[in-house]
Amino acid sequence: MTEVGAPETDLPQARPADAVPRLEVRDVSVSFTVKGKRRTILEGVSCEIARDEIVGIVGRSGTGKTTLLNLLGGILRPSGGGILLDGEPFDKPVDKVITVFQDYNQALLPWRTVRRNVSLGIERRLTRAEVTDRVDRALEMTHLTDNANDLPWQLSGGMQQRVQIARALVMEPEVLLLDEPFGALDAMTRATLQDDLLRLQRETGFTVVFITHDVDEAVYLADRVLVLGGSPANVVREVVSGLPSERDQLDTRESPLFTTARRTLADELWGEGR
C-alpha cells in the first residue's frame, strides 16, 4: 500500500507500537454460494483503524465496500480471518459500534417524533431522566433541538439524516460506521453535513469509517482512504492526504495536499485512460 500527499513530517504521527487499534481486520475473506457456485467477494483483507481516526473506503461498484463495512459492524461474519475491536474478536453487533445507513427515509419511524426516533435505542435500557439527558445532548449536537417534536416527513433530507446521526450519538458509540451517508443529498446540504461530521468527531473522539463513491468527499473527510480493488477484492492502496484536522470547504479543497490526494485516488479508481 502507498501513502501519498504531504511530506513525511506533515503526515499523521505513527501509532505507538504497543497501542491497540480500535478496529483490526485480519486476513479476512467473504464467500457465499449462488446457484451452486462459490463466489468470493473479499479475500485476504487486512487493515488497522486507530482510535480517533477517520477512514474512508472507496472502490468501484461491486468491490465489496458495504460487505467490509458490515463486517466491521458485526452484521456479517467473515468466511475466513477475523475482526478485532479493541484487541478482542467480535462477530455480532455491539453497542460500541453503530452504523448509519444511507436510506434515512426508511430508517426513521414516521409515526415517531424526532425526539422519540432518537431515543429508540436507549429508551428500554435507561431511566427516563438518563434518556432525556442523552437525547437533549444529541439533539443539541446535531442542531435539531428546535425540531424535537417534528415528524420525519416534516423535515428535509439533510435534517432526516441528522436524526439518524443523533440516534447513533445517544448510544455513545466508540465507532461510527457510515454507508454512503450523504450520497442522496444535494451538494450544499452534503457539504454542511460533512462539516457537522468533522465537528462531532472532534467533540466526541469516536472513530469513523465511511463508504463513499465521491473522491472529493473521501479526501475532505478522511485521515486515510483505503481503496478496494480486484476480484475478489483486497485493499490495493492507502492514501494519506496530510490535511490538518481543521478543514474548510473552500480553502481545503483548493490546497495542494487536497488536489494531490484527489488525483492519486482518481488515477487508482479510473485509470490513466478514463
- pLDDT digit string (tens) for 195-217? 999 999 999 999 999 999 999 99
Grid coordinates standing for 114? Answer: 424526532
Terminal-residue alpha carbon distance, the chain: 22
Model confidence band, residue 105 (pLDDT cutoffs 50, 70, 90): confident
Average confidence (pLDDT) over 73-90: 94
Model confidence band, residue 183 (pLDDT cutoffs 50, 70, 90): confident
Average confidence (pLDDT) over 10-20: 48
Using CB atoms within 10 Å of the CB of residue 52, give its burial: 0 to 12 exposed, 13 to 18 middle, 19+ buried: middle
The percent of residues in the chain predicted with pLDDT above 90, rounded, is: 78
Model confidence band, residue 273 (pLDDT cutoffs 50, 70, 90): very low
pLDDT at 1: 41
Average confidence (pLDDT) over 234-253: 94
Residue with cell 416527513: 153
Model confidence band, residue 274 (pLDDT cutoffs 50, 70, 90): very low
Starting from the edge strand earliest in sequence, which strands make up the sheet with 175-179, in order?
Answer: 97-100, 175-179, 207-211, 54-59, 224-229, 234-240
Domains and CATH numbers, the chain: 1-6+49-77+89-96+173-274 (3.40.50.300), 108-172 (no CATH)
pLDDT at 106: 81
pTM, whole model, 2 decimals?
0.88
* Amino acid of residue 93: P
Average confidence (pLDDT) over 105-124: 93
Contacts of residue 147, Cβ cutoff 8 Å, sequence gap at least 6 = 114, 139, 154, 155, 159
Kindly give the pairing relationship between strand 88-89 and strand 175-179. Answer: unpaired
- pLDDT digit string (tens) for 125-179? 899 999 999 999 999 999 999 999 999 999 999 999 999 999 999 999 999 999 9
Model confidence band, residue 31 (pLDDT cutoffs 50, 70, 90): very high
